[in-house]
Amino acid sequence: MAMNLRLRDDQQEALKLRAEEEGRSMHAIVLQAIDRYLEQEVDREGVRKLGAKYALRHADLLKRLGE
């Protein structure tokens, strides 16, 4: 899938400089950033699900601890 990414001028300049410093393309850096974001969101979702599961399972204890 192709898409257009509109960056502010300062973002584009910073990305261009970073790419030059790293000897990589701007495209490669953007793809890596997307991959990292998606991995982090999967991790966050897993933590949220576990938190909800254990909060429900231990609701009585959590209530007593809050008293």
Whether the per-residue pLDDT at 36 is higher than 80: the answer is yes
For the residues of 20-61, what is the DSSP string, one character each? HHHT--HHHHHHHHHHHHHHHHHHHHHHHHHHHHHHHHTHHH
Helix, strand or coil, per DSSP, at residue 11: helix
Q: pLDDT at position 46, please?
A: 76
Residue 56 CA neighbour count, 13 Å, CB half: 6
Q: pLDDT at position 33, please?
A: 95
Q: Is the pTM of this model over 0.85?
A: no
Token pair belonging to 41: 């969101």
Query: Domain segments of the chain: what residues?
Result: 10-66
